[in-house]
Amino acid sequence: MDTIIQKRKLGKSNLEVSAIGLGCMGMSFSYGTLPDKKEMISLLHKAIERGVTFFDTAEVYGPFTNEELLGEALAPFRNKIVIATKFGFDTTQGVSALNSRPEHIREVAEASLKRLKIECIDLFYQHRVDPIIPIEDVAGTVKELIKEGKVKHFGLSEAGVQTIRRAHAVQPVSALQSEYSLWWREPEAEIIPTLEELGIGFVPYSPLGKGFLTGKINENTTFEKTDFRNSVPRLSVENRKINQVFVDLLTTVAQRKNATPAQIALAWLLAQKPWIVPIPGTTKLSRLDENLGALALELTSDDLNEINKAASELKVQGDRYSEGATKLINR
């Protein structure tokens, strides 16, 4: 039985998706022991039953295995859903080697189409800005792929304001995917006003602070050795202790609203702009249902003022990425 959940349009692009999408990275990558593939296919199917139509992946997740998973799981539902994937890394050179050369973008597009078992990529993001390749060349290449019918929409990820403007002038950008949550509000200063001006949708990743804002992680939590959160400064044991105040704030509001901290964090994001579509990731059905429950929550202007006032008095401890990863952001 398919459920109908609210839809949102990403800016002026006419790209309509479920108001909450599903980040699929953790199904194949990054968070310690990998979940069972059959279970993940089942979870993807259950997400569709629940009305989710927006699925986020990238060639570098795995690499390749996450796209293959989505290709296998989502093939029967192709006409109902929107799949976003990404280019911009050189998988032959290790995870952080950038490559947005036009010929490489084309190679990635062809390979992603095959792995995803689709004829056309709905939303094709540049995963990180490549300082060597002019963004006009990147946008121009995606523009050609759109003309050829291989891509429908162009996106950017973690790009700065000038990069967004320059890209948008060559090929309209449908969506920007960057980190945004109650404890990472930097996009509010310049990014969100620019997106509003240009009519670009915003897709926040890590809307739950890599799990921290759910309230299920505290100073005593131990991450598996292969979990990338071990390298995130703001998730170090001492910083988790200090940052607990954000979870306490969400918990206070959640108790009053008969909700969970995660639902308040997502409802807060959804209330910021009607063209914001967060993509919390999960490998558990209970979490998927919890996240989608945020859509039924109505935060009043009083609730939002209370959250904003309290949050403005809190200071987050620790950077959101390790130094090496930070170099790849906001060019």
Catalytic residue, from 31, 61, 180, 205: name it.
Answer: 61
Q: Which residues face 100 on adjacent strands?
A: none
The full 3-state SS of the chain, as one line of letters, equals CCCCCCEEECECCCCEEECCCEECHHHCCCECCCCCHHHHHHHHHHHHHCCCCEEECCCCCCCCHHHHHHHHHHHHHHHHCEEEEEECECHHHCCCCECCCHHHHHHHHHHHHHHHCCCCEEEEEECCCCCCCCHHHHHHHHHHHHHCCCEEEEEEECCCHHHHHHHHHHCCEEEEEEECECCECHHHCCHHHHHHHHCEEEEEECCCHHHHHHCCCCCCCCCCCCEHHHHCHHHCHHHHHHHHHHHHHHHHHHHHHCCCHHHHHHHHHHHHCCCECCCCECCCHHHHHHHHHHHHCCCCHHHHHHHHHHHHCCCCCCCCCCHHHHCCCCC
| Residue 205 annotated in active site | no
- Which pair of structure tokens corresponds to residue 304? 């939002």
- Which pair of structure tokens corresponds to residue 271? 């209330």
Cis status of the peptide bond prior to 63, with omega within 30 of 0: yes
Positions marked catalytic: 61
